[in-house]
Amino acid sequence: MTERVVLAYSGGLDTSVAIGWIAEETGAEVIAVAVDVGQGGEDLDVIRKRALACGAVEAEVADAKDEFADEYCLPAIKANALYMDRYPLVSALSRPTIVKHLVAAAAKHGASIVAHGCTGKGNDQVRFEAGIQALGPHLKCIAPVRDYAMTRDKAIAFAEKANLPIATTKKSPYSIDQNVFGRAVETGFLEDIWNAPIEDIYEYTSNPATPREADEVVISFKEGVPVAIDGKPVTVLQAIQQLNERAGAQGIGRIDMVEDRLVGIKSREVYEAPGAIALIAAHSELESVTVERELARYKRQVEQRWSELVYDGLWFSPLKRALDGFINEANRHVTGDIRMTLHGGRAVVTGRKSEESLYDFNLATYDSGDTFDQSKAQGFIDIFALSAKIAAKRDLAGGA
């Protein structure tokens, strides 16, 4: 029986060439699988037909936008997930979504190998293969660019020789990955970290320096889930899409950073994630009102570890699953409204309202009606500072 390979297919030059390249290298039949996570571009049926025209024996396409938003972006919002305190895991979140569909297709079509178009230098190869091994430990993984030296010039030559129905014009100087949660841009002149980004590289966001009217928005959450924008019910996908448009129009969500890749190198990345940044900012602010202090302090540690696990491709790991349980419990009372002003590249919180609020006006006020018993403060301070006071006496006596 002929071996079968499931290929993560984008419809572009590299993965179109990979269909025939894999067949030549392995003698296997190739099943192409394209997953729509809100990256835009061509119609899914056009992509499916191209895969078949490029030699795939089967081609599947999946509209996974809602799945991506509900099962991958939402947990990131609940976790206030920002890798290195800045990056909202745009690409890292989409990979396990795609992996799930690849492994399902492998089971359906009797494939023993799963292939992807990543290089041997980046994070995505790890995210794909760690995810595939977690969901299908019997499956083998291959990457034509990495394993079979399928360079860009060789891919163009292969496509022209085979007369594949795909454009082979000069590639953009940038490497771009995008989905509904954001957009990542790297390589080209950006590899010199002294070079500033230029406006031409941005698509999801307008120039924040351009004068425009501010936009006020109210985002409503229920147990950490965004459920309404300005009082109108939304799905998670709709919340991201609407805030991509509104926050993006105000230049919000631009990130230029040098990040620590999993493979051990530092890489300059430029991101646009207007909806993600606005939602995380609003969610985090609502937590400050509704989450008890010690839980909030510990959750911040969990958020960092959760973000690292997802960035490193360990979405399906036991620790990630266990931390999900903690994060969901921590979001149990994160219900209410956050008012924000979107303007000049910033999403600024201006109001908070929640029936689950832990903010007590009568305890917080300094005016008449204050119910905080200040007479107890002195004794509290004496006990709280006692250990440090005893240590200080010892150190002074010893001349330290």
For residue 62, give both structure tokens.
Answer: 């999946």
Which residue among the candidates 36, 50, 124, 312 is catalytic per the annotation?
124
Q: Tally Cβ neighbours within 10 Å of residue 295.
A: 14
Residue of 112, 175, 206, 357 with catalytic role: 175
Is 321 in the active site? no
Q: Which of 98, 90, 123, 186 is nearest to 312 (CA)?
A: 123
CA dihedral 295, 299, 302, 303 (to 10 degrees): 170
Residue 95 a catalytic site member = yes
At 91 the three-state DSSP class reads helix
CA-CA distance, 382 to 378, in Å (whole number)? 6
Q: Which of 10, 14, 267, 354 is catalytic?
A: 14
Residue 299 makes CB contacts below 8 A (sequence gap 6+) with: 287, 291, 326, 327, 330
Active-site choice (95, 127, 183, 268): 95
Rounded distance, CA 143 to CA 117, Å? 6
Phi, psi of 89 (to 5 degrees): 60, 35
Q: Cα 133–138–144 angle (5° rounding)? A: 65
Note if 14 is an active site residue: yes
Active-site residues: which are they? 14, 95, 124, 175
